[in-house]
Amino acid sequence: MTQLMTLEQTRFLRACRRETVDATPIWLMRQAGRYMPEYRALREKYDLLTLIKTPELACEVTLQPIHAFDLDAAIIFADILPPLEGMGLKLEFVKGEGPLIHNPITSLADVERLITPTPEEALSFTLDAIRLTRAQLQIPLIGFSGAPFTLAAYAIEGGGSKNHEKVKAFMYCEPQAWHLLMSKLAEVAGHYLYAQAQAGAQALQLFDSWAGQLAPEDYRRYVAPYSRRALEIAKAAGVPLIHFGTNTGGMLTDLRDAGGDVIGVDWRINLTQAAAMLGDQVAIQGNLDPVVLFAPWDEIALRAKAILDQMRGRSGHIFNLGHGILQHTPVDHVRRLADFVHEYSERNR
Amino acid sequence: MTQLMTLEQTRFLRACRRETVDATPIWLMRQAGRYMPEYRALREKYDLLTLIKTPELACEVTLQPIHAFDLDAAIIFADILPPLEGMGLKLEFVKGEGPLIHNPITSLADVERLITPTPEEALSFTLDAIRLTRAQLQIPLIGFSGAPFTLAAYAIEGGGSKNHEKVKAFMYCEPQAWHLLMSKLAEVAGHYLYAQAQAGAQALQLFDSWAGQLAPEDYRRYVAPYSRRALEIAKAAGVPLIHFGTNTGGMLTDLRDAGGDVIGVDWRINLTQAAAMLGDQVAIQGNLDPVVLFAPWDEIALRAKAILDQMRGRSGHIFNLGHGILQHTPVDHVRRLADFVHEYSERNR
């Protein structure tokens, strides 16, 4: 209980609630990953799904960046796709090609066959990893789930996609199947988020990485009701909800209106402009281009400074990248970025 | 001369100049392409580069959609990458994988080696195709070039790219080489556009397909000066300039400020919002999601109607997709879309 009360007053959770902070909190999407030598060493011994499905290993990976850098939150090491596996899709991570679903959804019958197991039934490995990690961690832990649209995109495209034409065509041509699919995904994602908070996560992020590939009116009509449903289920857990997408410059207010206490913003929009669109009833997370971390340090510092200056005086800014950290990112730049964000923001409240 | 004067009064060129029109003009990016059986028949006999480099064939392909549909402009059949070939890069189109550059740029020395031939030296096949096509066409013909950043992205990544990390890292880490590369590309693109107008094109489009992958401040600092230079060179030809990008919801005003009489907008932003950002000193081209053409006709009509309603009363709207037409698009939907845009907009001025 004492630890939980202390956690509640950390700068990360205070910023989620738009309360004043001593310095701007920072965490980085995919902060545990292949750019770290410790992680690569483990991946030489275990494949990705083994790391995710073995709670002790997932816990170890989750803690790697926390031991290496001065970050303000950990995010449980997992992937957005295992929930689809629990629903009946056959998932594989193919070396060099990314995720592959061997039986993608093509019809209403496929959607009807999808089951909606409880998180304890289908995703106990991640819930166990959260329990293990919580016991070893002094800072807030973030749980997460893919959002219904992003999960639907993988389930229908069968993997990554350039134009997302299969998922959008399904959405336009099969309204009944679409509604059923998105309803099932909203339930699965929402209960999965809720269960992660129950297992010990202090905040939850809904990843809608592909939402920004939609026209805003399609997002509102075909997607937002289901993101809203997932976030409503998660909200009962009583922890801050982060709602993240990329390419959302033309639909930020729609993303906000679907729910979330914190809105994730990518680098494709100026943060001052994004803040003006979002208003002051949500916190903002973002928005450095992950590729900036490949630049010389002086350039990185300049860009981090620009983001902090834009957010100065706003209650509720969490520094992050606009999307996941990239594989060849120099480790030392991550370390210096975390320190710089704290030092600069503390000096320039 | 008489034909040229008549062309000047077509609804496409009038809309480019923000003059009143009888009905909204429409053309579609990549309107000559694999969704058409006539095109696939030719591709069974010739590979892509042969079609592009044989003026008679390029002319034939350019005219295919004009014969099939009621479109208001033709666009010369070409690709954005041959200018890179003329500069010394080894280009190949690999079946199923897209373009591949065998000697991508990795250093200042590579950039210094790039030559900047005149369009007549390096790209005479496209200029000849324009001359041939102009003689057989009753409507305006559009010439085009890749923009400096999009060309640089291919030249440095060596092909398509998910995160564009090589080109951005080069931009951040090699400022001298970047400046030289972008200067050369701006000259090549600008003179190529100019030469296409001289050869008989009535409008010119600068394709900056990847500009929207940049943070707005990076676009302004590393890219806009070179797009501006290319457009300034082209402007001397005295024909309307279309400036196109995707994922530009957060940087539309920056794109506009770099030049162009018409700004291309993709579907990721509502057109009313885009128009408010762009102001009334430019025409707007867009913005139907290409995947909407896979939907049932009633849905397509609803979406086309929404776009036309949003632009009603604005001088200067050219109906188009937000990006190129996709391979499996139903031909009949393209035909009906062109007719619908004309009929609906004529009835609802």
- Cβ separation B306–A217 shorter than 8 A: yes
pLDDT averaged over every residue in chain A? 96
Mutate to test the interface with B, among A268, A293, A300 (most CBs of B within 10 A): A268
pLDDT at position A16, please?
98
- Cβ separation B247–A251 shorter than 8 A: no
Chain A nearest CA to B289, separation (Å): 7
Whole-structure pTM value: 0.96
Chain A nearest CA to B220, separation (Å): 12
Chain B environment of A289 (Cβ under 8 Å): 168, 214-215, 218
Chain B nearest CA to A124, separation (Å): 33
Give the sign of the dihedral formed by CA A294, CA A297, CA A300, CA A302.
negative
pLDDT at position A97, please?
79
- Cβ separation A268–B251 shorter than 8 A: yes
Does the pLDDT value for residue A98 go beyond 90? Answer: no
Q: Is B43 a catalytic residue?
A: yes
Tokens of A171: 């959405």
pLDDT at position A182, please?
98
Chain A environment of B289 (Cβ under 8 Å): 168, 214-215, 218
Q: Is A312 a catalytic residue?
A: no
Give the sign of the dihedral formed by CA A88, CA A158, CA A39, CA A264.
negative
Q: In angstroms, rounded to a whole number, what is the distance separating the alpha carbons of residues B51 and B61?
A: 8
pLDDT at position B4, please?
67
In order, the DSSP letters of B12-75 are HHHHHTT---SS--B--TT-SSTTSHHHHHHHHHS-HHHHHH-HHHHHHHHHHHHHHS--S-EE
Tokens of B203: 């409008």
Read off the amino acid at residue B268.
Answer: R
Q: Is A70 a catalytic residue?
A: no
- Which residues of chain B, if any, have pLDDT below 50? 1
Which residues lie closer than 8 Å to B15 by C-beta, 6 or more apart? B21, B24, B25, B283, B315, B316, B317, B318
Chain A nearest CA to B330, separation (Å): 12
Out of A165, A168, A268, whose CB is closest to B247?
A268
Q: Is A30 a catalytic residue?
A: yes
pLDDT at position A238, please?
98
pLDDT at position A269, please?
97
pLDDT at position B181, please?
98
User: Which residue bears the tokens 């494709």?
Assistant: A268
- What is the gyration radius of the CA atoms in chain A, in angstroms? 19
Q: In angstroms, rounded to a whole number, what is the distance separating the alpha carbons of residues B308 and B288?
A: 11
Chain A environment of B169 (Cβ under 8 Å): 291, 294-295
Whether residue B169 contacts residue B175, with contact meaning beta carbons closer than 8 Å, is answered with no
The residue from B35, B154, B194, B222 that is catalytic is B154
**In this predicted model, what pLDDT tens digit does every residue of A37-85 receive, in sequence order?**
999 999 999 999 999 999 999 999 999 999 999 999 999 999 999 999 9
CB atoms within 10 A of CB A306: 16
Q: In angstroms, rounded to a whole number, what is the distance separating the alpha carbons of residues A254 and A309?
A: 26
What are B's interface residues with A at a Cβ cutoff of 8 A?
A: 163-165, 168-169, 172-173, 212-218, 247-251, 267-270, 273-274, 289-292, 294-296, 299, 306, 326, 328
Q: How is the beta sheet containing B141-146 ordered, strand by strand?
A: B74-75, B141-146, B203-208, B241-245, B262-264, B283-288, B317-321
CA dist B66 → A123, B51, B134, B335 (Å): 55, 17, 13, 11
- Cβ separation B326–A215 shorter than 8 A: no
**In this predicted model, what pLDDT tens digit does every residue of A137-180 receive, in sequence order?**
999 999 999 999 999 999 999 999 999 999 999 999 999 999 99
Q: Which H or E run contains A243?
A: strand A241-245
Does the pLDDT value for residue A4 go beyond 70? Answer: no
Residue B313 DSSP class: T
Whether residue A266 contacts residue A244, with contact meaning beta carbons closer than 8 Å, is answered with no
Strands A317-321 and B98-101: unpaired
Instruction: Give the whole-number percent of chain A exceeding pLDDT 70.
Output: 99
Q: In angstroms, rounded to a whole number, what is the distance separating the alpha carbons of residues B140 and B76?
A: 10
Tokens of A300: 């990185």
Report the pLDDT averaged over residues A121-128. 98
Predicted ipTM > 0.90: yes
How many alpha carbons fall within 13 Å on the CB side of residue B277? Answer: 23
Report the pLDDT averaged over residues A104-115. 98
pLDDT at position A94, please?
87
Q: In angstroms, rounded to a whole number, what is the distance separating the alpha carbons of residues A195 and A214?
A: 29
Whether residue B270 contacts residue B310, with contact meaning beta carbons closer than 8 Å, is answered with yes
3-state SS, residue A26: strand
* Structural domains present in chain A: 2-347 (3.20.20.210)
Q: Is A229 a catalytic residue?
A: no
In order, the DSSP letters of B153-171 are HHHHHSB--SS-HHHHHHH
